[in-house]
Amino acid sequence: MDDYTREMMDLKTLVTRTLEKKGVLAKIRAELRASVFEAIEEEDRVVENEDNVPPALLGSCNDRAKQLHASPSGFLFKSS
């Protein structure tokens, strides 16, 4: 491994640790999860409006996804 690659890996590690320590990465992950669920729910509303059928996509998510969606952190970022 050359010096440049080593320096870049060290910088990446330093930035990652700092952002984790400050809670920035956790917030980004939560916002990304919320955005994914909002996109699914938005598509559900489109399907319901166009076809007059109940929402389909979120209902077909696996159990872990449903738990995450119902979790306090999922709800927290969904409501902001």
Which amino acid, 12?
K
User: C-alpha distances in angstroms, 25 versus 15, 53, 71?
Assistant: 10, 38, 18
Whose tokens are 């980004």? That residue is 28
Structure confidence by residue, pLDDT tens digits, 43-76? 766 655 555 555 555 555 556 666 666 676 665 5
What's the domain count of the chain? 1
Q: What is the pLDDT of residue 19?
A: 95
Print the domain residue range for 23.
Answer: 3-78
Q: How confident is the model at residue 23 (pLDDT cuts 50, 70, 90)?
A: very high
